[in-house]
């Protein structure tokens, strides 16, 4: 009946879905439910509210929502079960995780991460968790990124178009000291903000890209990372950034000149890391070694990314002055259960330390993986457990909030412990 009424007013269900997307909001407390529904409704989509996950799930076949907001207050098991049902629906919606309270502890961060991981593994488009204070800007960005704020067609974007129209953005994923649970750096990852399709990941615009466009993008990424440090330093944070760089850029782009002219002049600048993949770097170690030595003069170092995927000789890799060794995510995944992966991770950590390198694990998705890697002595981790990549403005906002906490007087004295890290929620 509900579908028939919508069709009568809108002409067809397909047209209605395009003109006014549907959003389901399921939250435990009525004030929270109404607050989120009101914010979403003001931005255009139709909204239906539910006080239980069961009621929401029963409405799926008829309502066919484009976005479902789930309150983690229902419990992790119940939320994960609902995620599985959403994934099995005829029309699979995007998932927005919601917390009625500020996510302020490591345990809360991991709990939200479990629901996020369930959604990611189920193939849903999972958005970063919303938490108080709930701002229209945050929801507006979610709807825009999902293509629900306007009629969205099939994305057809090339890297050349993104460069021409200045759509490239550098987003940041925090790198966390696994033992101290504190921020120690961030990796810059390229995104495209398309005026119609919203934010697009590399898979949407890099396949088939020309070599010259890849080099232009790399130049943009390095310049952006150097500029962005100034914004981070402005809030009192000295964060070492890293960016992905194809090996061809080391010999083609004037990176040394870019660093000499564009690097921050502040004495506190910790430098820049260029991440190159293992399988690329082994093809021309002599040339790469010369370039690496030039870059070192400008406080720039190399890191081996996706280590273990290229099966290269460690004795050859020792020729280069690397600063980090990043464990390939295929070994990190389920390393707490898979003995082979666990053994490889432990071996790579030991090798990194023998070479005097910092070991970084990427793609950490569960607390169990994090704890296992910490037990191996892995220095740094990054992944969806801690945070998805975020726009620079969100990253700066989080750093600013942390620095405010650090500067506030404490009854426990000047060395009082800072509030726990939280990155998964938007600032």
> Does any domain span residue 223?
yes
> Are residues 199 and 339 located together in one domain of the fold?
yes
CATH number for the domain that contains residue 97: 3.40.50.2300
> Does any domain span residue 150?
no
Q: How far apart are CA 222 and CA 391, in angstroms?
A: 16
How big is the chain by its Cα radius of gyration, in Å?
23
pTM over 0.95: no
Given a contact cutoff of 8 angstroms between Cβ atoms, the answer to whether 394 and 422 are in contact is: no
Residue bearing the bigger pLDDT, 106 or 219: 219
Residue bearing the bigger pLDDT, 342 or 248: 342
CA-wise closest residue to 307 among 348, 274, 259: 348
**176: enclosing H helix or E strand:** strand 168-177
User: Which pLDDT does position 306 carry in this prediction?
Assistant: 74
User: Which pLDDT does position 159 carry in this prediction?
Assistant: 95
Record the tokens describing residue 333, joined without a space: 């995944």
User: Which pLDDT does position 314 carry in this prediction?
Assistant: 57
> Are residues 255 and 290 located together in one domain of the fold?
yes
Give the 3-state secondary structure of 83-142: HHHHHHCCCCCEEEEECCCCCCCHHHHHHHHHHHHHHHHCCCCEEEEECCCCCHHHHHHH
User: Which pLDDT does position 237 carry in this prediction?
Assistant: 86
pLDDT digits (tens, 9 = 90+) for 320-378: 678 899 998 888 988 999 898 899 999 999 988 988 899 999 989 889 999 999 999 99
> Are residues 99 and 232 located together in one domain of the fold?
no
Given a contact cutoff of 8 angstroms between Cβ atoms, the answer to whether 192 and 166 are in contact is: no
> Does any domain span residue 171?
yes
Q: Are strands 198-200 and 322-327 parallel, antiparallel or unpaired?
A: unpaired
> Are residues 369 and 250 located together in one domain of the fold?
yes
> Are residues 76 and 205 located together in one domain of the fold?
no
Binned at pLDDT 50, 70 and 90, residue 102 comes out as: confident
> Are residues 138 and 268 located together in one domain of the fold?
no
> Does any domain span residue 209?
yes
> Are residues 332 and 203 located together in one domain of the fold?
yes
> Are residues 322 and 228 located together in one domain of the fold?
yes
pLDDT of 12 strictly over 60: no
> Does any domain span residue 421?
no
Q: Which residues contact 170 (CB under 8 A, 6 or more apart)?
A: 188, 189, 190, 191, 221, 224, 225, 228, 243, 392
User: Which pLDDT does position 63 carry in this prediction?
Assistant: 86
Q: How many domains does the chain have?
A: 2
Given a contact cutoff of 8 angstroms between Cβ atoms, the answer to whether 171 and 189 are in contact is: yes
> Does any domain span residue 420?
no
Using the 3D structure, point to which of 145, 170, 200 is the last residue of a domain. 145
Residue bearing the bigger pLDDT, 219 or 20: 219
CA dihedral 421, 422, 426, 427 (to 10 degrees): -40
Helices marked H in 199-243: 211-234
User: Which pLDDT does position 80 carry in this prediction?
Assistant: 92
pLDDT digits (tens, 9 = 90+) for 167-219: 999 999 999 999 998 899 999 999 998 887 778 888 788 888 899 999 999 99
Given a contact cutoff of 8 angstroms between Cβ atoms, the answer to whether 162 and 168 are in contact is: yes
> Are residues 137 and 169 located together in one domain of the fold?
no
133 preceded by a cis bond (ω within 30 of 0):
yes
Q: How far apart are CA 402 and CA 333, in angstroms?
A: 30
> Are residues 81 and 196 located together in one domain of the fold?
no
Give the 3-state secondary structure of 6-44: HHHHHCCHHHHHHHCCEEEEECCCHHHHHHHHHHHHHCC
CATH number for the domain that contains residue 255: 3.20.20.450
Q: Which residues contact 331 (CB under 8 A, 6 or more apart)?
A: 308, 341, 344, 345, 348
24: domain range? 2-145
Given a contact cutoff of 8 angstroms between Cβ atoms, the answer to whether 363 and 111 are in contact is: no
> Are residues 331 and 391 located together in one domain of the fold?
yes
CB neighbour class for 256 (10 Å; exposed up to 12, middle 13-18, buried from 19): middle
Mean pLDDT in residue range 32-44:
81
Angle in degrees, 0-180, between the axes of helices 30-42 and 136-145, rounded to the nearest 10: 60
pLDDT of 153 strictly over 50: no
Q: How far apart are CA 303 and CA 161, in angstroms?
A: 30
Q: Which residues contact 54 (CB under 8 A, 6 or more apart)?
A: none
> Does any domain span residue 422?
no
Using the 3D structure, point to which of 90, 112, 145 is the last residue of a domain. 145
> Does any domain span residue 331?
yes
> Are residues 224 and 357 located together in one domain of the fold?
yes
């Amino acid at each position: 009946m509900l579908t028939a009424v919508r069709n009568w007013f809108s002409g067809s269900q397909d047209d209605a879905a395009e003109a006014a997307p549907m959003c389901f909001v399921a939250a435990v407390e009525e004030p929270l439910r109404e607050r989120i529904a009101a914010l979403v409704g003001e931005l255009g989509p139709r909204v239906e509210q539910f006080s239980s996950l069961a009621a929401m799930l029963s409405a799926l076949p008829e309502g066919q929502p484009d976005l479902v907001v789930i309150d983690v207050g229902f419990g992790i098991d119940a939320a994960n079960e609902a995620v599985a049902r959403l994934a099995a629906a005829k029309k699979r919606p995007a998932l927005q995780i919601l917390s009625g309270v500020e996510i302020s502890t490591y345990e809360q961060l991991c709990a939200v991460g479990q629901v996020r991981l369930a959604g990611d593994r189920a193939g849903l488009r999972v958005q970063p968790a919303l938490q108080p204070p709930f701002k229209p800007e945050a929801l507006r960005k979610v709807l825009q990124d999902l293509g629900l704020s306007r009629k969205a067609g099939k994305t057809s974007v090339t890297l050349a178009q993104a460069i021409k129209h200045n759509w490239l953005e550098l987003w940041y994923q925090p790198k966390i000291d696994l033992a101290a649970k504190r921020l120690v750096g961030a990796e810059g990852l390229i995104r495209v903000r398309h005026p119609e399709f919203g934010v697009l990941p590399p898979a949407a615009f890099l396949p088939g890209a020309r070599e010259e466009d890849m080099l232009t993008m790399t130049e943009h990424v390095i310049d952006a990372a150097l500029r962005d440090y100034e914004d981070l330093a402005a809030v009192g944070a000295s964060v070492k950034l890293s960016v992905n760089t194809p090996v061809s850029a080391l010999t083609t782009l004037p990176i040394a000149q870019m660093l000499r002219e564009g690097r921050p002049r502040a004495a506190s600048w910790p430098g820049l890391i260029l991440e190159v993949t293992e399988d690329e770097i082994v093809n021309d170690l002599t040339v790469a070694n010369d370039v690496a030595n030039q870059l070192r003069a400008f406080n720039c170092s190399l890191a081996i990314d996706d280590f273990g995927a290229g099966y290269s000789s460690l004795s050859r890799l020792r020729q280069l002055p690397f600063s980090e060794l990043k464990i390939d995510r295929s070994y990190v995944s389920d390393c707490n259960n898979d003995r082979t992966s666990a053994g490889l991770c432990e071996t790579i950590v030991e090798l990194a330390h023998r070479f005097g390198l910092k070991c970084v694990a990427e793609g950490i998705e569960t607390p169990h993986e994090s704890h296992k890697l910490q037990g191996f002595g892995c220095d740094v981790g990054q992944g969806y457990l801690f945070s998805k990549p975020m726009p620079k403005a969100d990253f700066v906002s989080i750093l600013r909030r942390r620095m405010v906490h650090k500067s506030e007087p404490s009854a426990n004295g000047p060395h009082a412990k800072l509030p726990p890290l939280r990155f998964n929620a938007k600032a």
